[in-house]
Chain A
Amino acid sequence: RKEVEQDPGPFNVPEGATVAFNCTYSNSASQSFFWYRQDCRKEPKLLMSVYSSGNEDGRFTAQLNRASQYISLLIRDSKLSDSATYLCVVNDRGSTLGRLYFGRGTQLTVWP
């Protein structure tokens, strides 16, 4: 079983739409959770960390459900510039500190 599993996508939405991505992780001891964004042929960049109480950054909202080992990312009022691949990332506290596991990503295309 993979450490991190994501909706495969692709998601194709019009500008202004709200879209949600889901992710599940297998290690109940995981302590750190992130969403990264990766543009085509570029490196991943941190979009936001995910905190236990959930957190919001502008149009982006991340939620964590430890009981279900589930993470979500909600994007409101989608922009063309949101088109990218979104990676769900989880650490493994049980192994060497700093080790992260990356999901395969969910591709989003926002059309005008």
Chain B
Amino acid sequence: DGGITQSPKYLFRKEGQNVTLSCEQNLNHDAMYWYRQDPGQGLRLIYYSQIVNDFQKGDIAEGYSVSREKKESFPLTVTSAQKNPTAFYLCASSIGQGPLYNEQFFGPGTRLTVL
């Protein structure tokens, strides 16, 4: 089945530790995105990538890093510099080319809790 997978579903870390969230897609999509969602809030864009080996900062990139070495993979690292990392993290992908009908498809998300 085609889709987007994120792992793990729940993640607990101690304050000050870096943590990497996995995102894999087999939809052959060029573009991939990372969002953060806090309770009662909308989705905020952290980073996005339109093509392998290229990515851009979104609205809240500070304290996060990404890589895009393969088309199907877009891991997100939450570093110790992120002041408030506890949140629901969502990965998405889209075909990526063209401004019309560029709907995004989401993975199931990772809930990160920093203790």
Residues of A within 8 A of B (CB): 31-32, 34, 41-46, 49, 87, 91, 93, 96-100, 102-105
Contacts and interface: CB of A to CB of B under 8 A. Distances in A.
A102 B50 CA distance: 19
Contact of B108 (A31, A34, A43, A102): A43
Contacts, number: 60
Interface stretch (B60-68, B70-78, B97-105): B97-105
B84 interface: no
Contacts of B35: 102
Interface of B: 31, 33, 35, 40-43, 45, 48, 50, 56, 88, 90, 94, 96-109, 111
B106 A104 contact: no
Contact of A44 (B43, B48, B100): B43
Contacts of A41: 88, 111
Contacts of A43: 90, 106-109
26 contacts: A32-B99, A32-B103, A41-B111, A42-B108, A42-B109, A43-B107, A43-B108, A43-B109, A44-B90, A45-B106, A49-B101, A87-B43, A91-B99, A91-B102, A93-B99, A96-B48, A96-B56, A97-B97, A97-B98, A98-B48, A98-B94, A98-B96, A98-B97, A98-B104, A100-B104, A102-B43
Given A42-B109, A97-B99, A98-B33, 20 more contacts: A32-B99, A32-B100, A32-B101, A41-B88, A42-B108, A43-B109, A49-B101, A87-B43, A91-B102, A93-B99, A96-B48, A96-B56, A97-B97, A98-B48, A98-B50, A99-B48, A100-B102, A102-B43, A104-B41, A104-B42
Contacts of A102: 35, 42-43
